[in-house]
Amino acid sequence: MFTLPDLSLLRQRALNANQNDVLTAMGRGAGDIEALATLLSPAAELLLPQLAGRAGEITAQRFGKTTQIYAPLYLSNFCNNRCAYCGFAANNKIHRRKLTVEEAVSEALLLQQRGFQHILLVTGEAPAKAGVDYLEEVALALRDHFAAVSIEVQPLEQHEYNRLFKAGITAVAVYQETYDKEVYDKVHLAGKKCDYQYRIETPARAAAAGMREVGIGTLLGLADWRSEGLALGLHLAWLRKNFWRTSFTVSFPRLRPAAGAFEPFSTVVEKNLSQLIFALRIFDPDVGLVLSTREEARFRDGMLGLGPTRYSAGSVTSPGGYSHEDHEGEQFSIGDQRSITEVCAAIASRGFDPVCKDWDVEFQH
Ligand code: SF4
């Protein structure tokens, strides 16, 4: 079972780091948690171009020129939880909707026509509306149309993940949102998500169920981003050690405007997000790093080849949003509004290969 250790000593060491320590940490290689703390330090902020260069070298070695492209497909925005930062929170008066299996398939086929081969199914946490039976039905209807179908839904039990794996789901994303327990308790006001420990153990349950890939992440803007980076590194290293057959990804969503008008507790500017991405790439050369359409097009384009390996594109964050023009009931507003064609063209124009599928569908059955 993963339990987050006290980070104060590591944090203190990082605060005292100087630029020589940062240069040493850059060369110390993968998996060194003290080096990660140094790479996240204020001293490392002054060496951002050097960090970018090292992260770029590692990304080129491990991933070549490829950038994977995916789209989220929102199935339902019903939610029993009250997360202070989220537009789907139970107390927000928004238009609620759950797609039927037929509607889900027709939204998915629209995405397929636009060129997507990898989709991420998203729901709020309302098992009575969008539980395992429903997810299984949707997965079975979609499995033969896509190279990869992933989920970002409520935390499930291992046997439930196993059921969904058999139905064609091969990847699970479940973000801790914040590893800071005090902040976690402050922003999770009602519902099952209030259980910090159950959530932190969820990636392990998904991996133990045989999922091919598991994604973890933090929502930036809730707690100190340097500490979140350290906690992510520790969680990732623990998962790798215990589930060596599973691939892992890390996401760094920054808070976006949403219903409820939540004000972030901390400011995370692009420079900070870049440092976090560079540091994690140096810490774990093989981890997939996700940069979603929450970020502006200019920033996403600028980060190509410097750490991120997976981009969403053409995203809509409301159920049925690909078929309808109005995006009523969206989870948050997006930063990069470009279509998949525009995103792929921007990636190609910088010398990278946008890849809409990540492995052949024949290999997953
Ligand atoms: S973050 Fe997830 S669990 Fe929380 S309110 Fe939004 S949809 Fe529900």
pLDDT at 82 over 80: yes
Residues 258 and 92: their CA atoms lie apart, in Å, by 10
In a domain, residue 287? The reply is yes
pLDDT at residue number 153: 98
pLDDT at 129 over 90: yes
Q: Are 12 and 238 in contact (CB under 8 A)?
A: no
Task: Give which of 177, 189, 154, 179 is closest to 76, Cα–Cα.
Answer: 154
Question: What is the overall mean pLDDT for the chain?
Answer: 92
Give the other-Cβ count within 10 Å of 133's Cβ. 10
In a domain, residue 3? The reply is no
Q: Whose CA is nearest to atom 5 of ligand 1?
A: 89
| Mean pLDDT, residues 207-217 | 97
pLDDT at residue number 28: 85
In a domain, residue 234? The reply is yes
Is residue 175 left, alpha or beta, with left meaning phi > 0 and alpha meaning psi from -120 to 50? beta
Task: Give me the domain span that covers residue 214.
Answer: 8-364
pLDDT at residue number 183: 97
**What would the DSSP string read from start to end of 11-24?**
HHHHHT--HHHHHH
Which CATH number does the domain housing residue 223 bear?
3.20.20.70
Which of 83, 94, 177, 189 to probe ligand 1 with, by most ligand atoms within 8 A of CB? Answer: 83
Residues 52 and 49: their CA atoms lie apart, in Å, by 5
pLDDT at residue number 262: 84
Residues 276 and 110: their CA atoms lie apart, in Å, by 35
Looking at ligand 1, which atom is closest to the CA of residue 90? 5
10 Å CB burial of residue 282 (0-12, 13-18, 19+) is buried
Question: 310 Cβ partners below 8 Å, 6+ apart?
Answer: 67, 68, 69, 70, 249, 288, 289, 290, 291
pLDDT at 95 over 60: yes
pLDDT at residue number 361: 43
Which of 79, 199, 219 to probe ligand 1 with, by most ligand atoms within 8 A of CB? Answer: 79
In a domain, residue 155? The reply is yes
What is the maximal distance between C-alpha atoms in the chain? 59
| Mean pLDDT, residues 250-278 | 89
**Binding-site residues, ligand 1, Cβ < 6 A:** 79, 81, 83, 86, 88-89, 124-125, 193
Total H helices, total E strands in the chain:
15, 11
In a domain, residue 352? The reply is yes
More confident residue, 160 or 361: 160
Question: 133 Cβ partners below 8 Å, 6+ apart?
Answer: none
In a domain, residue 1? The reply is no
For residue 216, report the distance from its CA to the centre of ligand 1, in Å: 15
Number of domains in the chain: 1
Q: Whose CA is nearest to atom 4 of ligand 1?
A: 83
Looking at ligand 1, which atom is closest to the CA of residue 87? 6
| Mean pLDDT, residues 242-264 | 88
**What is the per-residue pLDDT across 217-230, written as a single tens digit (0 to 9) for each?**
999 999 999 999 99
Q: Are 311 and 291 in contact (CB under 8 A)?
A: yes
Query: Tokens standing for 348?
Result: 């190609």
pLDDT at residue number 314: 83
Query: Tokens standing for 234?
Result: 């520790």
pLDDT at 326 over 90: no
| Mean pLDDT, residues 154-165 | 98
Give the other-Cβ count within 10 Å of 199's Cβ. 19
In a domain, residue 2? The reply is no
**What is the per-residue pLDDT across 330-364, written as a single tens digit (0 to 9) for each?**
777 788 989 888 999 999 999 999 988 654 444 44
Q: Which of 54-63, 209-218, 352-361 has the lowest mean pLDDT?
A: 352-361
* Predicted structure pTM score: 0.94
Query: Tokens standing for 109?
Result: 């086929």
Which of 96, 125, 219 to probe ligand 1 with, by most ligand atoms within 8 A of CB? Answer: 125
More confident residue, 35 or 314: 35
327 pLDDT band (50/70/90 cuts)? low
Residues 87 and 331: their CA atoms lie apart, in Å, by 5
